[in-house]
Amino acid sequence: MTPATGGPVRVRVPATSANLGPGFDALGLALTRYDELTVTPGGSGVTVEVTGPGEGEVAMDETHLVVRSIRAGLESLGASVPGFTLRCENRIPHGRGLGSSSAAIVGGIAAAYGLAGVPLDREHVVELANEIEGHPDNVAASALGGFTIAWTEGETGRAIRLEPVAEMSVDAYVPATRVLTKEARGLLPGAVPHGDAAANAGRAALLVAALTSRPELLMTATEDWLHQEYREPAMPESLALVHKLRGSGLAAVVSGAGPTVLVLGGPSDGPDLLPEAPDGWHRYQLGIDPLGVQVWSADAEQLLAEGGNERSRTRVEHLEAAD
């Protein structure tokens, strides 16, 4: 192992939503809500500081998911940092289907690149993050930004990024209660009717078109037969909200494994068309993050990982200021 010589690094990593209705374990969106990490090398062992979601709950040692991901990233790069301080400023809710674990994994791997002083290889980030997470849908969107299609070849995670429709609206209804991904997956049947699988394949293909060029098709394109209804016992309030919103003509889906409910809208669908959040829930008006994970030198504020374009970067800054 080669000792890494880089200084402190700062990482910003977006929340994500996977599945998006019919795109089970394949489709994902990066969202304009972010966790920020600062990693300062020095000494031996690790010191972990956490604010926001997860504070007082997550591990504060080598078993912390970000720490494990930093270690895995450094090992894959042939670099080492004996000790460091990790500061996590979390804004992504935990256990709500918004990709908090994927953000931790992708953020940790990206931080390893910064510490090693190596240009970020997003394809490798997806591959390594998939090994840690176990499926590539959320990690792909977190690493690449925008709208992603992910799959596996053998054990290797792969993904491509597509440009979503400009100014697409994304609203997240987030409940106070959590649902574990393992619990939600445990409710899925081992087999589904052939007709349901065929219908879902058609809707998933249509959703790609709706998100990239035909947003007027979002309502039809977000219909699902594979997973949402099966998960109702774990999140009855979420499914009730999905049914209510869809009954009003809004393209509502369960975000990831839930229980957050996501509403997708085209440029002409203003936020004033949506109802307020139910009691005990929060509604976040979001956009689609175009950049994916970003890495800076914490001292010089030098961008170490390029992505997107200047117009996209300006839009993200605007959305962050409005958050």
CATH number where 126 lies: 3.30.230.10
Q: What is the pLDDT of residues 44-56, one digit of tens each?
A: 889 999 999 999 8
214 and 104 belong to one structural domain: no
pLDDT tens digit sequence for 104-148: 999 999 999 999 999 999 999 999 999 999 999 999 999 999 999
Does 62 share its domain with 83? yes
Position 162: which residue type?
L
What percent of the chain clears pLDDT 70, i.e. is strictly above it? Answer: 89
Copy the structure tokens of residue 18: 């996977």
> Is 108 found in the same domain as 233?
no
Tell me the pLDDT tens digit for each residue of 263-320.
999 877 766 678 999 999 999 999 999 999 999 986 656 666 654 433 333 333 333 4
Q: Are residues 201 and 272 in the same domain?
A: yes
Shared domain for 255 and 301, answered yes or no, is no
Quick: pLDDT tens for 159-215. Answer: 999 999 998 999 999 999 998 877 888 899 999 999 999 999 999 999 999 999 999
